[in-house]
Amino acid sequence: MQLAGIVGMSHSPSWNLEPLEGPAKTYVDAVFDARDAISRIAPDVLVIFGPDHVRNFFFDMMPPFCIGVGDVTGFGDYDSPGGPLPTHPQLASFIAKAVMAAGFDPALSHNMGVDHGITQPLAALSPALETPIVPIMISSGGEPLPTLARCFEFGKAVGDAIRAFPGGGRAIVVGSGGLSHSPPSVSPDDPTISSETRDYLINGRPRVKEFNAAREKSSKERRAAGGTGPINEEWDRWLLDCMCRGDMDPVLAIDNETLLADGGTGGQEIRSWIAALGAWSLPAQTSKYSPVPTWITGMGCITAFEKEMA
């Protein structure tokens, strides 16, 4: 199979991808450009690395990596796609076997739920939701938190598997998450969270719809009141510059404590970008960035495509 391109993109509960003016315009235009490129390439599959925000994966049993090898269902949070999604089980199973042979031990899910961390980029890049996906969840909310170097090497193993897949076709890898932002913590090890929240993070699967409704209501109220989030623009731009120069060593050397300090609780999600870049194994070709306080996130988008495909 040909690995024809990569997209790394931020997601946000607050986003609006309608054509618009203002702080988000640079980011939204970049996503539209990526969508247009993917439409021309017409890939057979999107391999999407992304986090889960404790809607499908809980800390009663949290894997560092999980590959969806069977049915995949969108949760539908924040108006993202809900219900069954198209999949590519042959490629997913091939990737799983290949990365295990390469020394990684991901969890496998034959009935995987995904939230806006994976479904927002899917809807942005394939609005008709017709392109099959292979979702790969990377733990980014609390331990286990694989190191950035481990994520890069894991992504490289995924990229090698995609290229070795004998079924033919074209794939695009997508990394979804970050950049800097600080939503409420979802780590059960965080001493600042309430006992009620901690119990939900570990044992909340039976009451996830009720808890999610409360989270979305709170989020909408904060936005309506003009709530914004801290964004580390300097750090975000440094990351994107490293990705475009292919200078990943200083990024991969960042430890979890430094990542939390510089990128916030949501900055942990750059693991997904790192894995996608590992799969691509080359620098990004384009980089766009918008710090959007009302979306509480530094919104970045990187792309690279095979020259004959772009």
Instruction: Take residue 280 and report the two structure tokens written for it.
Output: 């691509």
The verdict on residue 168 lying in a domain is yes
Please give the tally of structural domains in the chain.
1
pLDDT, position 263? 93
CATH number at residue 268: 3.40.830.10
Task: Identify whether 47 is part of a domain.
Answer: yes
Adjacent-strand bridge partners of 135: 48
Q: Name the residues annotated as catalytic.
A: 116, 181
27, pLDDT greater than 90: yes
Report the candidate in 151, 105, 111, 122 with the shortest Cα–Cα distance to residue 34.
Answer: 122
222 pLDDT higher than 80? no
Judge whether 290 lies within some domain. Answer: yes
Q: How confident is the model at residue 227 (pLDDT cuts 50, 70, 90)?
A: low
1 vs 294, which has greater pLDDT?
A: 1
* 178 φ/ψ angles, rounded to the nearest 5 degrees: 60, -165
The answer to the question of residue 268 being in a domain is yes
Question: What is the value of pTM for the model shown?
Answer: 0.95
Arithmetic mean of pLDDT, 87-109: 98
Burial of 264 (0-12, 13-18, 19+ CB in 10 A): buried
Task: Judge whether residue 301 has pLDDT over 90.
Answer: yes
Q: Name the average pLDDT for the chain.
A: 93
User: What is the pLDDT averaged over residues 203-208?
Assistant: 94
Assess if residue 310 is contained within a domain: no
Residue 279 lies in a domain: yes
Taking residues 171-188, report their average pLDDT.
92
Which residues constitute the domain of residue 7? 2-305
Q: Do the domain assignments include residue 83?
A: yes
202 touches 188 (CB < 8 A): yes
Q: What pairs with residue 288 in β-bridges?
A: 301
Assess if residue 271 is contained within a domain: yes
pLDDT in tens, 253-286: 999 999 999 999 889 999 999 999 999 999 999 9
Average pLDDT over residues 224-251: 90
Question: What is the per-residue DSSP string for 228-272?
Answer: -----HHHHHHHHHHHHHT--HHHHT--HHHHHHHHHHHHTTHHH
